[in-house]
Structure 1
Amino acid sequence: MHADVIVLGAGIVGVCTAIHLQDRGLKVVLVDRRGPGEETSFGNAGLIERSAVVPYGFPQDLHTVLHYARNHSSSLRYQPAALPAMTPWLLRYWRESRPNRLAKAAADMLPLIERSVAEHDELIARAGVQHLVRDAGWLEAYRTPSLFAEESTKAVKLAAQHGLKMQILTAEQLRALEPAVGEGFVGAFHWLDPKTVSDPGALVAGYAALFVREGGRLVKGDALTLIREGLSWKVQCAEGVISAPRAVVALGPWSTELTEKYGYHVPLLGKRGYHMHYRMGTTPLVIPVVDLEEGYVLTPMRGGLRLTTGVELAAKNAAPNPAQLDQSEHKAREVFDFGPRTDMQPWMGRRPCTPDMRPLMGPAPRHEGLWFAFGHNHHGLTLGPVCGRLVAQMMMGETPLADPLPYSPARFA
């Protein structure tokens, strides 16, 4: 089978890239070993984070670093045996998180964040998946009065600077707005611009169905079989060998398993996270709540109430560790009334993170026709549609919606 482009990976970024390339008249084949949206795109908290205008940086104050170093936080846990191999990445992440560099990263990512909801809206309408998306925003809740007061000043400034809609709620106002929230929070910020998704995997599957309806091919195959023969890239699939002059690597945390075969040693770290579903309590939660101090998110989903954990640093093939999920659940039950677990076991996935908090989007420096579209850190679901458009624009030689230089794979060459 011959195509104009092979897109490797049917997560949110790969699916959206395939759609935007197809919109430009190209014959596109989308390849994955599983169904669309069944890996990292499936397991997130379901937030389209228009308000996430500052990347998640490494803490710069000693008090917070020491707090995490004790390895008792539900926001961040680590497996000590994994740290030596991760130290170079963590040191670079720490340097890139210094105030001036973090501000530059935020500026580089802003054009993508600003368009995130609008780009989703377009695909939501085309795919007919409006029933999966809500406009109620999300709640950023705090337990400590002093921290809430300090962050309130920052939030007001941030909202004004970026034209974001945000309301500061007292504890009483929070419980009036969201009766499912019990005692324990001193207040919250209600960010109104973001949207929430009741089934992220189904959203990606809906976008993939749009791609197929409009003429695209979605096939099962092993992306790691990609080879270069003459002027073509070829990959082995269930339907046989597929060849195309261009191939896009959009494999999320698995991308480096392929790129390293071609000599690209990208510093991509898979930050692990878990989720579990629960039966709703007597008063169902309506608006997602992020417990900022404990690091978990509670989101009402089609499958029940989903609790998504913060970050776990562990070796790639390390066995799942239930400690973080158990601790987050304990903390959540201090504030929320909800039922027992409904999943047989926790879901675990990896967020593909770069130390400079920018994705890799652009041509591979040394291989003609090979393109990268991965490393979207904590915002893959948020940025999938806008980044798919940007990659397609670059591949077609169009004027890009944002300066692509900050995302160039050449920065790690």
Structure 2
Amino acid sequence: MSKDVIVLGAGIVGVSTAIHLQRRGRQVTLVDRKLPGEETSFGNAGLIQREGVVPYGFPQQIGVLVRYAFNNRIDAHYHLRALPGQLAFLARYWWHSNTKRHEIIARAYAPLIQHSISEHNDLVQASGAEELIRKNGWMEIFRSNAKRDAEFAEAERLKREFGLTFDALNSADLARLEPHIKGSFSGGLRWRDPWSVLDPHGLTSAYRRYFESLGGRFATGDAATLGQAGSGWRMMTDDGPLQADEAVLALGPWASEATRRLGYAFPLGVKRGYHMHYAPAGNAILNNWTLDAERGYFLAPMKRGIRLTTGAEFAARDAPKTPVQLDRAEAVARETFPLGERLDPEPWMGARPCTPDMMPIIGKAPRHKGLWFAFGHAHHGLTLGPVTGRVLAELMTGETPLIDISAYGPERFNP
């Protein structure tokens, strides 16, 4: 029997969820204020991070925290005026990042990451988006022997525990792989399992077109209008009122507002990030998605140009842009790779939705019939969109999910 579902949020997580529900016989309407993929899913490094089994933790060492306190780095920046409102989240984030707790979280997180490539492959093939995908991994480059050796050791550990594959590179290997990268780099590490995406927004758009080819529908509307209607859910769209038996909230950094109106209290923080595209100078070519590990910026050869991305900015979600990290990163990146002119009229900024235990929220709302959650994917929204969509659709339709998703349940924050 067909049952109507509203999926609120048309980023990579929402679009993927809508696809998997539509495949299972549900009639799905995907709703967003903007077109699919135009918010957080629009800008990132374009990696499907199969190697990312260890989520990004909060630094534990006092010396590192002191260095961050000066607020002059590329990989992290904060708004001083926003800190009072974020202290509770940051304190819980720091607590969960303790070495032992972080190890437990990584083991619970790994099954999602394990299926990231296979589930993207399913949707890439179905949507005809193969031209947007590169399957040759990505690369970290190191300026010091100490950093290089520590990362090699960590890669060996991840290989033993999670079956990941990588190449340890010396300076000659780097020169061969990236002849236009300049500077004194002691080596690199090339992760072989991940895929990269030439246009993340284009990939989400391709998935959206596939969803519509299955009979799904997209509508423009505001999540603030969602409310219970009898045994189901109702909201307003530009096409008029919309009613369904079930609703999925896949609203990324806006999920905290929608869930708060329904009586839930999720400790959802945001890490803002920026990007800018550049033309390569002269005949320079960047072959690999590349992280300057000790400076904290990323260079990615996208369809639009060389994309420079920054680390995390801790600020209010809707505060005005302050792209100081991008300016710092550009100055260093120009010394590393011959970047030409900027190609975007202004820096792009987006907000990653983060939980203090670094795992997403996936599952049934504890206190509402027919309401489901899929948000909080932090740095791995693009990576985890398809596998999240699959396991949630399986749960909603009475199938046994591909993996045990109990660790990601909403009830861990809202009993």
Is TM-score (shorter-chain normalized) higher than 0.5? yes
Map of 1:6-405 to 2, 5 A cutoff?
Answer: 6-281=6-281, 282-405=283-406
CA contact (8 A) 2:365 2:373 kept: yes
Q: Output one character per residue of 1:120-177: Cα deviation in whole Å (capped at 9) or x when no partner.
A: 0110000001000001210011112212112211212212322212001112211211
Deviations 1:353-399 (A, max 9, x none): 00000111111111111110000011000000001001011111211
**Identity score, percent:** 50
Q: For 1:339, what is the secondary structure of its paired residue? A: strand
Query: What CA distance in whole angstroms lies between the structure 2 residues aligned with 1:193 and 1:326?
Result: 31
- Aligned 8 A contact 2:233 2:244 in 1: yes
CA displacement at 1:20 relative to structure 2: 0.5
- 1:11, 1:36 within 8 Å by CA — same for their partners in 2? yes
Q: Where does structure 2 lack aligned partners over 5 or more consecutive residues?
A: none
Whether the aligned pair in 2 keeps the contact of 1:13 and 1:373 (CA below 8 Å) is yes
SS across alignment from 1:348: strand
- Using the TM superposition, give the Cα deviation of residue 402 of structure 1 relative to its aligned residue in structure 2, in angstroms: 1.7
- Report SS of the residue matched to 1:398: coil
Q: Which moved more, 1:378-387 or 1:228-237?
A: 228-237
Which amino acid letter does the alignment assign opposite residue 278 of structure 1? Answer: Y
Letter in 1 for 2:51: S
Alpha-carbon separation, structure 2, partners of 1:47 and 1:317: 25
Q: Cα RMSD between the aligned structures? A: 1.1
Deviation, structure 1 residue 76: 0.4
How much has 1:63 moved relative to structure 2?
A: 1.2
Query: Secondary structure in 2 aligned to 1:379?
Result: helix
Deviation at 1:180, TM superposition (A): 2.7
Q: What SS does the corresponding residue of 2:152 show, helix, strand or coil?
A: helix
Q: Deviations over 1:269-320 (max 9, x none)?
A: 1110000000023221121001121111110111100001000111223211
In structure 2, C-alpha distance between the alignment counterparts of 1:315 and 1:126, rounded to whole Å: 38
CA distance in 1, matches of 2:383, 2:252: 14
Give how far 1:214 is off.
1.1
Q: How far off is 1:3 after superposition?
A: 5.7
- 1:75·1:293 contact (CA, 8 Å) conserved in 2? no
Q: Distance in 2 between matches of 1:70 and 1:110?
A: 34
TM-score by length of 2: 0.97
Letter in 2 for 1:22: Q
Which of 12-21 and 180-189 deviates more? Answer: 180-189
Cα distance in 1, alignment partners of residues 330 and 191 from structure 2: 24
> Is the 8 Å Cα contact of residues 184 and 334 (structure 1) preserved in structure 2?
no
Amino acid at match of 1:372: F
State the distance in 2 between where 1:191 and 1:151 align: 12
C-alpha separation in 2, matches of 1:349 and 1:24: 32
* Residues 235-257 of structure 1: CA deviation (Å, up to 9, x unaligned): 11111111111000001001111
CA distance in 1, matches of 2:235, 2:142: 49
Corresponding residue SS for 1:274: strand
Distance, in Å, in 1 between the alignment partners of 2:334 and 2:156 is 29
Following superposition, the deviation at residue 186 of structure 1 comes to 1.6
Is 2:177–2:287's contact at 8 Å kept on the other side of the alignment?
no
Contact conserved, 2:256 with 2:265, CA < 8 A, in 1? Answer: yes
**Residue-by-residue CA offset, 1:317-370 (whole Å, 9 max, x unaligned):** 321112110001111112111111110000000000000001111111111111
Question: Distance in 2 between the 1:136 and 1:275 partners?
Answer: 22
**Code of the aligned partner of 1:393:** E
User: Could you list the runs of 4 or more consecutive aligned residues of structure 1 that deviate by over 3 angstroms after TM superposition?
Assistant: none
Aligned equivalents of 1:330, 1:184: Cα separation in 2: 16
